[in-house]
Amino acid sequence: MTPIRVTPPAGPVVPLPDLKAHLRVVGNHDDVHIAALEAAAVAHLDGWRGALGRCILEQAWQVSYPGAGVWRLPFPDVTAVTAVDGAGDPVDAALSHDALGSRVEIGEAAVVTLTAALPDDALPAIDVAIKLLVQHWYDNGTAVVTGTIATELPLAFSALIGPLRWIRV
């Protein structure tokens, strides 16, 4: 019942011009590197294996369930579900939410496709957290520092993502 992403997010969470402004980078000599850092930061936070345990931008995932019942979905912010049986025929699927997250009720074994994304009010915190993480990696690109003290991740990063982390039960 491990989820598989079938549709990735449409674009970057933080656009390159915004990241460059945050980093105070002029010109385009580091664009590829900065875009790669943004993608790595999003990969670190986003989805099933991410530190947040939830989807940042809208994306679709599939999960197979072995039989009828009410099943806990792998993400809390599910906005839509569809289900098909082993032959690819539609199965009735009802989405519901409770304090522990999202659930789907199905009448038989099915592959459930779900769409999930963070609520809009959480996106400003994620935007700043990604900028802080990218800045940290951009400014401290080596694991070993000679002659100075290595810096740790800014506390603001943890403060921003802490309330948004979702822990599976």
For each of the chain's 169 residues, which pLDDT tens digit applies? 799 999 999 989 999 999 999 999 999 999 999 999 999 999 999 999 999 999 999 999 999 999 999 999 999 999 999 999 999 999 999 999 998 999 999 999 999 999 999 999 999 999 999 999 999 999 887 666 666 665 677 789 999 999 999 876 5
Q: How far apart are CA 129 and CA 158, in angstroms?
A: 8
- Overall domain count for the chain: 2
Q: How far is CA 165 from the centre of its chain?
A: 10
* Residue 47 shares a structural domain with residue 79: no
Domain that holds residue 48: 4-54+119-164
Q: How far apart are CA 31 and CA 87, in angstroms?
A: 46
Closest CA to 58 of 81, 32, 78, 38: 78
Q: How far is CA 36 from the centre of its chain?
A: 16
* Residue 27 shares a structural domain with residue 69: no
pLDDT for the residue 137: 92
* Residue 73 shares a structural domain with residue 96: yes
Please return the burial class of 166, using the count of CB atoms within 10 Å of its CB with bins 0-12, 13-18 and 19+.
middle
Q: How far apart are CA 13 and CA 138, in angstroms?
A: 17
169 in any annotated domain: no
126 in any annotated domain: yes
* Residue 73 shares a structural domain with residue 148: no
The model's pTM = 0.87
100 in any annotated domain: yes
Structure tokens, 70: 């009410």
